[in-house]
Structure 1
Amino acid sequence: MARKLYPLGIQTFSEIRTNDNLYIDKTAYIYRMANTDGKFIFLSRPRRFGKSLLVSTLQSYFEGRKELFKGLAIDRLEKEWTEYPVLHFDLSGGKHQEEDQLNRYLDYILKYNEHRFDIKCDAVDANVRLANLISSVYNKTGKQVVVLIDEYDAPLLDVAHQDKRLESLRYLMRNFYSPLKQCEPMLRFVFLTGITKFSQLSIFSELNNITNISMDEAYAGICGITKEELLTQMSDDIDRLAAKMSITREEAILQLTDNYDGYHFTYPSPDIFNPYSLLNCFSKEKIGAYWFGSGTPTFLIEMMRKFKVLPSSIGNIHAKLSSFDAPTENMTSIIPLLYQSGYITIKDYDKELKLYKLD
């Protein structure tokens, strides 16, 4: 049987499903998230872990595109398939920018969404335009609005080590996000993803009703590929790799585990494999340092300099739960950032001392 094409570089759910590319089914998580307590959800995961694909899947789900989900877990779970208007903001294009450039980028993504719903707005300020966009779409469609924000922290990460620049850009982004709370009655669901957690007070401006699911056991496998998914949904891929490398299936699984496994975003957690590495490995049919080779984020290097941390000293660390929740802008240690960006992970948890072991 011919294998399905791997969606390398493709982060659009509809394109993956239309082209019948390989898709690891995460839709049970989508259903749970969309039908849970609260409507404001935040998820932190490292780069190249499938956050953008998750956002795109949510968009297709809330737009009621039932045909794209045929045969997936949500097909059995969802009975209504209610269609909602969806506003999608991708902040990844706002990296490496000064304040005026970032203002122009916010103008660009707001214009795109205004155009989609044929809405005119004379206001200049991004927060006024976002509030107008939500209320106009709500009134026009008669339905609550879904807001999806991908890489919400992208404009801030590269200046995290520069206090003055961080402060001005943080103020700008806080201003942009501020209408989300006042528009709450008009919103069906709000989802934000990013790598780090900038504190709710500074970024979300009183958005104290957001649920952070980043370390929730129920969502441990929402991004990345679990060992179970690898062995079932990618079983043929393992066999092809083993044949190419002239090794047994068991040896192939062992090599894949040694190289790409070991991510845990809570405790206990299933073993999570890096999806970018796995897909590249199966595509190229050889083991390689794909995720690491795709580049080390500048912000991490700068923060390591700021905290005077050498790569050789990273590892075998113990941390309290509160360490993971430390706001990026007033961190006293680089541990949360190393964890959030995927360079160290949870290895164990001491219930008595309430300490996580990281390595």
Structure 2
Amino acid sequence: MDTSRRLPYGISNFARLIEDNYYYVDKTSYIESLEREANPYQFFIRPRKFGKSLFLSMLSWYYDINSANRFEELFGRFYIGSHPTPERNSYLVMAFNFSGVDTHDEETFRKSFANVVQQSAIGFLSKYRIIFANADELIRNINETQPGIAVLRIAYDAANDVGRKIFVIIDEYDHFANDLIAMGVDAIYKKQVRANGIVRDFYETLKIGTSDAVGRIFITGISPVMIDDLTSGFNIASNLTVEERYNEMLGFTQAEVEGIIKETGLNRKLAKVDIQNYYDGYKFHKDAPRRVYNPTMLLYYFNQLRMTGKEPENIIDDNLKTDYGRLQRLTMNRENRETLLQIIRDDGIYSEIKTKFSIDNLADTGHFVSLLFYMGLLTIDKADRGLLWLKIPNYSIRTIYWEYLMQMIADTNREVQLNLSEWQLGVRDLAYDGNGVPLLDYVSKNIFSKLSNRDLMRFDEKYIKVMLLSVLFQSKIYLPFSEREVEGGYIDIFLERSSHLPDIPYEWIIELKYVKESDTDRLPEIRKASAAQLERYAASPQLAGKPGLRKAVWLFIGKTKYEIIE
């Protein structure tokens, strides 16, 4: 009989996860840690799809007074089951989720935000009908009068009347702010968040509630973009986001991943890709001892293996791709575009991490880089002489940069022509015929030769490489790797056949070189040195004897000429 547990991909309700025999990576010890914090009003952010909603659901079931009779069923086998805290099942939980706020225009936004708050308050009163004797009367009054943010005071009074404290949980606190930023409607944001608008009113009323009814608050989102703008209206929460002790509160460590594989009965032999390379790598404090996987990225992959018995055709979950519109908005100014290009070229950047900033700061390089960190597009690699080196976390995120780079080049340079079917044919010829000429002809004529003078100022091997990686990745024929480490050095581009195309006869070691047209006298020595590099890479223990392995130097001369040396 199969005793393995189900993979919890897409499950954000903690009780359902337990009831339906899904495997839960035990994060309940953090309940104890959070409850021991001096400040009961807490703020914690992580990138998209990092397990925030499930964590909030777990908090809700743990603290909800209505769930007291289910404590053993839900938590008995986890850490907190044998280490219960003093406040377990002692609160009335009032939850808000702002992901559904309509940002179409200012009036629609205001009404939609007010409706989310009112419906949450109605749900709160309805949930505790057994405690609030006049719950139906209060709900009827709310529906008739539409009090807006004042509905919070109604909920506070109800809780105070029965001598109970409220635990306020807010998910997606910044979702509408991110939408407004992406759409470029700063005016609505500034009027409703920074000025005396409805968002500010909500948080001021929430703060007022801490004087009597509100005992705990826990807020999550993906960025700190509203923190400064709410400071005077809501300056009571501790930001735990980059505290070392909470580095692993969300996300999976390597040991936890091993537990998932074991407890769900996953067949390791089905997994062909290096999951650490694809989904791991996040660190939120420079001294944190371990890195963590993005849970949704990893569970998507594992779920595909379980359902189909083979790797998914797309090893990267399309649902995780960052909204290109948001990046386009953030890179409307030249400084941010240049910074993004630097990150793509160098695979990271030196920067400090800002903990608070408002919409006015997004054009500043330090704040822009920090926002990329909070969005999960950068993570901490190491501290170096007082500075942090922030790197691209993993292969999955790297491909987002590659795709965005090509779109950005096309958007900012109308001369660049991108035709996916044409470059796919070029990559196909490279894969099946060992012929790289059609591909390099395409990128030389349609991309490189069309670059602007500003683009040409940074035209070098790194710039060429990331553009080629983007083309190669989007073809879906190869899995391209940058700087693959082998004995003897780092391969500029290694092209690994996709597991879905096992009939591809050729994999490639590519060494890239670039020479300005004014430096062509250096070509003989470059050709010789490059050939020696290729031989050394191919002879490495990691690649020696690999079937169908070919090697070539792609030597670019200026922006219109190239050579292929095999």
Q: Please give the range of the TM-score, normalised by the shorter of the 2 chains.
A: 0.7 to 0.9
In structure 1, the residue matched to 2:176 is: 155
In structure 2, the residue matched to 1:337 is: 371
| Structure 1 unaligned residues grouped into runs of 5+ | none
The separation in 2 between residues aligned to 1:233 and 1:74, in whole angstroms, is 19
Range moving further from structure 2, 302-311 or 263-272: 302-311
Q: Which amino acid aligns with 1:130?
A: L
Q: Which amino acid aligns with 2:63?
A: F
In structure 1, the residue matched to 2:381 is: 347
In structure 1, the residue matched to 2:126 is: 115
- Work out which of the residue numbers 191, 207, 215 in structure 2 matches 1:168: 191
Q: Which amino acid aligns with 1:340?
A: Y
The separation in 2 between residues aligned to 1:289 and 1:337, in whole angstroms, is 26
In structure 2, the residue matched to 1:210 is: 237
Task: Using CA pairs under 8 Å that are at least 6 residues apart, name the structure with larger relative contact order, 1 or 2.
Answer: 1
Instruction: Supply the RMSD in Å over aligned alpha carbons.
Output: 2.4
> Which structure is larger by alpha-carbon Rg, 1 or 2?
2
1:95-106, aligned counterparts within 5 Å? 96-102=103-109, 103-104=111-112, 105-106=115-116
In structure 1, the residue matched to 2:96 is: 89
In structure 2, the residue matched to 1:265 is: 284
The separation in 1 between residues aligned to 2:105 and 2:126, in whole angstroms, is 26
Q: Does 1:190 align with 2:217?
A: yes
- Work out which of the residue numbers 157, 160, 163 in structure 2 matches 1:135: 157
Runs of 4+ in structure 1 over 6 Å off: none
Q: How far 1:100 moved relative to its partner? A: 3.1
Task: List per-residue Cα deviations over 1:204-255 (Å, max 9, x = no partner).
Answer: 5432221001001111011111122112343355x7342224x6xxxx6xx0
Q: How far 1:25 moved relative to its partner? A: 0.7
Does the residue aligned with 1:265 lie in a helix, a strand or coil? coil
- Work out which of the residue numbers 78, 82, 85 in structure 1 matches 2:84: 78
Task: List per-residue Cα deviations over 1:36-82 (Å, max 9, x = no partner).
Answer: 21111001101100011111111001014412111101112115434
Q: Is the 8 A contact 2:244 2:285 kept in 1?
A: yes
User: Identity across aligned pairs (percent)?
Assistant: 24
The 1:291–1:49 alpha-carbon spacing in structure 2 relative to 1, beyond 3 Å, is farther
The 1:128–1:79 alpha-carbon spacing in structure 2 relative to 1, beyond 3 Å, is closer
Q: How far 1:291 moved relative to its partner? A: 4.3
Q: Is the 8 A contact 1:155 1:169 kept in 2?
A: no
Q: Does 1:313 align with 2:347?
A: no
Q: Which amino acid aligns with 1:243?
A: K
Q: How far 1:203 moved relative to its partner? A: 2.5
Q: How far 1:125 moved relative to its partner? A: 4.4
Does the residue aligned with 2:337 lie in a helix, a strand or coil? coil
The 1:146–1:204 alpha-carbon spacing in structure 2 relative to 1, beyond 3 Å, is farther
Q: Is the 8 A contact 2:23 2:263 kept in 1?
A: no
Q: Does 1:279 align with 2:279?
A: no
The 1:256–1:225 alpha-carbon spacing in structure 2 relative to 1, beyond 3 Å, is same
Q: Does 1:325 align with 2:319?
A: no
The separation in 2 between residues aligned to 1:112 and 1:4, in whole angstroms, is 32
Q: Is the 8 A contact 1:346 1:356 kept in 2?
A: yes
In structure 1, the residue matched to 2:390 is: 358
The TM-score normalised by the length of structure 2 is 0.57
Q: Is the 8 A contact 1:300 1:337 kept in 2?
A: no
Does the residue aligned with 1:225 lie in a helix, a strand or coil? coil
Equivalent pairs counted in the alignment come to: 347
